[in-house]
């Protein structure tokens, strides 16, 4: 099973930074993040991965808010993954994909700051699928006492 760490870059005004990535079946909007290296602390991995994927290296990591178990395909084979999501409070900035690894940049189709309400009413595909609901709760009540299962 792959272990990943992701950042939930949420502003005080309720905007969240998402990345559009291509998949074999279309595209998805996801939070920035990636694989945890062997022996690496998940929170440290989140900071490293978000920095590589967005170009922003001055973020601080907050509480772990969600855990997601999912499947993705690489080389035509299903791979199982556990993703850990960490709060990273921020203000909007202009993200850059220049630090992405080639396999990441090949799938990357852009960044966007989304309002939570826009996600809730959008026909686009988001991961986790309940992203709008999870973000509404996070924005309204703050981080949960322990990470929530985000669903698929």
pLDDT tens by residue, 74-122: 677 888 899 999 999 999 999 999 998 888 888 899 999 999 999 999 9
Residue 76 has a pLDDT of 77
How far is the C-alpha of 24 from the C-alpha of 22, rounded, in Å? 7
Q: Are the CB atoms for 5 and 83 separated by under 8 Å?
A: yes
User: Which is nearest to 87 in space by CA: 47, 140, 130?
Assistant: 47
Which residue in this structure is represented by tokens 């009413």?
Answer: 121
Per-residue confidence (pLDDT) for residue 48, from 0 to 100: 96
Whether 83 and 67 have beta carbons less than 8 Å apart is answered as: yes
Alpha-carbon dihedral angle through residues 11, 113, 59, 50, given to the nearest 10 degrees: 140
pLDDT at 7: 98
CATH number for the domain running over 2-139: 3.90.79.10
In the numeric block, the tokens 């595209």 are attached to 27
Task: Determine the Cα angle at 84 with ends 8 and 151, to 5°.
Answer: 90
Q: What is the pLDDT of residue 72?
A: 72
- pLDDT in the model for residue 41: 97
pTM given for the model:
0.93
Q: Is the link from the previous residue into 18 a cis peptide, with omega within 30 of 0?
A: no
Averaged pLDDT, 2-23: 95
DSSP at 94: -
Q: Render pLDDT for 25-76 as a digit per residue (tens, 0 to 9).
A: 899 999 999 999 999 999 999 999 999 999 999 999 999 999 999 877 667 7
Give CA–CA dist 65/141, Å, rounded. 12
């Amino acid at each position: 099973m792959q272990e990943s760490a992701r950042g939930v870059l949420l502003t005080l005004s309720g905007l969240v930074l998402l990345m559009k990535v291509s998949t074999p079946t279309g595209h998805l909007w996801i939070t920035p993040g990636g694989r945890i290296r062997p022996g690496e602390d998940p929170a440290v991995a989140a900071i490293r991965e978000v920095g590589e994927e967005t170009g922003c290296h001055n973020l601080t990591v907050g509480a772990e808010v969600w855990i997601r178990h999912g499947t993705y395909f690489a080389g035509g084979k299903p791979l199982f993954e556990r993703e850990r999501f960490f709060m990273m409070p921020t203000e909007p900035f202009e993200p850059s994909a220049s630090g992405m690894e080639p396999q990441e940049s090949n799938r990357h189709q852009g960044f966007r700051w989304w309002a939570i309400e826009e996600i809730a009413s959008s026909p686009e595909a988001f991961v986790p699928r309940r992203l709008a609901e999870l973000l509404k709760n996070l924005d309204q009540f703050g981080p949960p006492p322990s990470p929530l299962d985000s669903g698929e």
